[in-house]
Amino acid sequence: MTMQMRYGSSSDQGRRQVQQDLVLTLPRLFNDDTYHFFAVLDGHGDHGHKVAQLVQTRFAKLLEEYAPQIRQDPEGIWSTIFSRLDEEVIDAPDSELDPYLSGTTVSALLLCEDKFVVINLGDSRVIHGFSTCITSEASERDVDEPSQSDPLPAVAEAIATDYPLNETKNEAKGHQDSSTDGKWTIEQLTRDHTCSDPEERARVIAKGARVDQLFDGMQRIGPLRLFKGSLPYPGLVVTRALGDTSARRLGVHATPEVTTFPLLSGHHCFVLATDGVWDGLTNENVLDLVAPFYSLESNHGAEEASSTLTRHSLQALDRIMIDDNTSNVCIFLSVP
């Protein structure tokens, strides 16, 4: 199957002191035009940036090492690869990083021949827009960067007005809706592995974790987190991650959730992003921002889509008074 693919990625440190987000883009994986791999990583904890850097470096090498297995069974090898990554994080010299209270999430996408595989660990997210009623040149507005005097173009201004807060942070995997005037169908391909997910919460509680919010005086604030008994740590929001050895007996593990989908004929828009995007924007917000840039002439459209999403995710974080890094990868794809 011959596919046309363009991609773009961007990151911003935001108001955090350290950039713990990373992206990994490997087009033409194995020097093959039918294999492409993309991932976003979101480190957490004092050494989270070091964990993410190690995983980013080793991931690319492990993909090459396991190339025969990936080609033979694109869905079945990921638990092994993530186990290897986790071992390397845990076994890293103490002088390089300490994974006791630090780790990273990973959300990844493998495009391969007539299918695509989504690999998810943690609370980054992958969404998919699909359309059969646009042209490969389609762009509902000019893809040039909006002027600084107009930081919120029409679609983003509407988003800021209609969606001042993201009220659907943990939308169900598989949820479908329409966006950009009904021209695209949108689907969330991953499930957020956090204490807010009923299945994940029940699993860690069964392992002995205490799940609660942080306290500000007498008031509970923020998302649900997991703790060890009455102790104030580890305080993790995520229930799956690489590293985080302090939480292993509490049910936190490094086994990814893997799903394979057929690559249907039509136009595809994938967005992989860290929680700095999803904290302030809904799935529909994100597709409304990036889909108008859809073009297969060059990577320019996807790059503009990615940078636009980064800019507006930072504005959304400011509106809800959250400080975080933000990173994303936007992929435009046409399948005959």
Please give the pLDDT value at position 171. Answer: 55
Closest CA to 23 of 5, 2, 37: 37
pLDDT at 95: 85
Sign of CA dihedral 105, 9, 276, 202: negative
CATH code for the structural domain at 4-191+257-335: 3.60.40.10
Q: What pLDDT does residue 41 have?
A: 99
Domain range summary for the chain, segments of one domain joined by +: 4-191+257-335, 198-250
How far apart are the C-alpha atoms of 60 and 37, rounded to whole Å?
A: 9
| Residue 276 parent element (H or E) | helix 275-278
pLDDT digits (tens, 9 = 90+) for 40-77: 999 999 999 999 999 999 999 999 999 999 999 999 99
**Residue 143 has what pLDDT?**
36
The answer to whether the CB of 8 falls within 8 A of the CB of 327 is no
Report residue 261 as tokens. 């989908």
What pLDDT score does 181 carry? Answer: 60
The two tokens of residue 16 are 């955090």
**Alpha carbons 107 and 165: distance in angstroms, whole number:** 23
Amino acid in position 279 = D
Averages of pLDDT over each 10 residues, the chain, 336 residues: 90 95 98 97 97 98 98 97 98 92 99 96 98 61 36 39 39 61 89 98 98 92 95 97 98 98 96 97 97 96 98 97 97 96
